[in-house]
Structure 1
Amino acid sequence: MLEFRQVHKAYATPLGPLEVLTGVNLTLAAGESLALMGESGCGKSTLLHLAAGLDLPDRGEVRVAGRAISSLGEAGRARLRRETLGLVFQQFHLVPSLTVLDNLRLQARLAGREDRAWSAELVERLGLAGLARRYPEQLSGGQQQRLAIGRALAPRPALLLADEPTGNLDESTADEVLDLLLALVRDTGSALLMVTHSPRVAAPLDRCLQLSHGRIG
């Protein structure tokens, strides 16, 4: 479902190029969950952005569902994100002018795969059934994160990318959100790549890899 082949990525700085990823190799099978750990600034988010086609590698190849990201134009990468990927980031990126229910349905509509029965089930399982007509600003942080997860999984994506999805939550709420995320991932059959710095958050996933000094060990 996801493959990195000798991926390199650097960014320009006033002091010269800053090497962030230096020959990363990674594979993630369909339906598998993988935690990517590492210290802050080690390149975890860069790797996730490359997987999502939000950035391109300098060298090497990133393949999603058998397609090389670098072979797709901007429109093709946007279509890939819309139809194949689900994205969950620390910042919820909810649409403030849409209700809980409309935010939930948004990604499925964009992918052309809206399923009202699945949306109704998601609202219930997210614990948001009584809040469906409210707006994001009327929700707690934990409720907003659950909504962001539900929106990403509404179209049943082949691959879910999650960047510290519980990082802004207290421990108890984080545990509840993580349990919900993993249960929904299992039910949709999505592969999951989760970036985290927490061994506790990484523990329930199928595999865990460490990113350090631009390489996966």
Structure 2
Amino acid sequence: MVLIEAKKVEKEYITQAGSIRVLRNINLCVKNGEFVGIVGPSGSGKSTLLYVLSGLEKPTSGEIMLFGKSTAEMNDADMNAIRKSKIGFVFQFYNLLPNLTVLENVELPLVIAKQTDLSKAIEALKMVNLDKYLTLYPAQLSGGMQQRVAIARAMVTNPKILFADEPTGNLDHQSSIEIIEILKNLNQKQQTTIVLVTHNLEHMAYCSRKIEIIDGNIGEDERTRF
């Protein structure tokens, strides 16, 4: 089942110096259950591709299909509904609320979605081995632990797709591997489709598919397992 499809996608940004084309004629599909790793040099357009695929940004031209519907046909309410239940995000910066505990940070998406079963937050924290730290605050945790909280928060609504943009960018090597192993576990045991942007080629060993972006183009697209 195809969850994401990009058709002839281009993305340009307008600056004082003129237009900058960041993505060029991108065509790809992401199927249910894939773990897609997107790599490329700094400035190649890999993060922009994630933003466009996820609906965070609109393409300048071309079409993005998300769960079988064109994002161009979706209004804000449509996109918000998808973000509440079908997709999750993890970024390089953890974006945890400092005045909320670990548990309260993970509960937040449930509260926003008006879900009453907050026990899902504890289950999400168990998945990332942080259920013993429920009452601590973000400042009391290491960077790797904060990122695990962010992953639990993204997964608490059981999304079909998890978009992860450089989730290990601020972490040491050991913490980085722990985060990627958690993502792999979510992919294999929860069947969560994952789209990962990373600068670290070592992470490709955990992915089922590698897409390399070079100067806004797909330079390589290969399935590495399955």
- Does structure 1 residue 85 correspond to structure 2 residue 87? yes
Stretches of structure 2 that go unaligned for 5 or more consecutive residues are 220-226
Shift of 1:87: 0.3
8 Å CA contact retained: 2:85, 2:158: no
8 Å CA contact retained: 1:52, 1:81: no
SS at match of 1:49: helix
Amino acid at match of 1:29: K
Partner of 2:155: 153
- Does structure 1 residue 97 correspond to structure 2 residue 79? no
Shift of 1:36: 0.6
Of the three residues 36, 49, 52, the one matched with 1:50 is: 52
How far apart are the structure 2 equivalents of 1:189 and 1:41? 31
How far apart are the structure 2 equivalents of 1:146 and 1:117? 18
Q: Aligned pair count?
A: 217
Stretches of structure 1 that go unaligned for 5 or more consecutive residues are none
How far apart are the structure 2 equivalents of 1:68 and 1:108? 26
Deviations 1:15-57 (CA, angstroms, capped at 9, x unpaired): 2110000110111101111001111111111111112222111
8 Å CA contact retained: 1:153, 1:188: no
Deviations 1:139-198 (CA, angstroms, capped at 9, x unpaired): 110110000011111111011100011111110111112111211233322111100111
Amino acid at match of 1:79: A
Partner of 1:165: 167
Q: 4+ residue runs of structure 1 moved beyond 6 angstroms? A: none
Partner of 2:125: 123
Deviations 1:103-160 (CA, angstroms, capped at 9, x unpaired): 1122234345565554323323323222101111221101100000111111110111
Which deviates more from structure 2 when the two are superposed, residues 74-83 or residues 202-211?
Answer: 74-83
Partner of 1:202: 204
How far apart are the structure 1 equivalents of 2:106 and 2:62? 35
Change (3 A) 1:35 1:116: same
Shift of 1:86: 0.5
Partner of 2:36: 34
Change (3 A) 1:140 1:49: same
- Does structure 1 residue 23 correspond to structure 2 residue 21? no
**TM-score, normalization: structure 2?**
0.90
Deviations 1:57-91 (CA, angstroms, capped at 9, x unpaired): 11100111111111112232222222211000001
Which deviates more from structure 2 when the two are superposed, residues 158-167 or residues 122-131?
Answer: 122-131
How far apart are the structure 2 equivalents of 1:113 and 1:32? 28
Which deviates more from structure 2 when the two are superposed, residues 143-152 or residues 47-56?
Answer: 47-56
SS at match of 1:157: coil
Partner of 2:72: 70
8 Å CA contact retained: 2:127, 2:152: no
Amino acid at match of 2:33: G
Report percent identity of matched pairs.
37
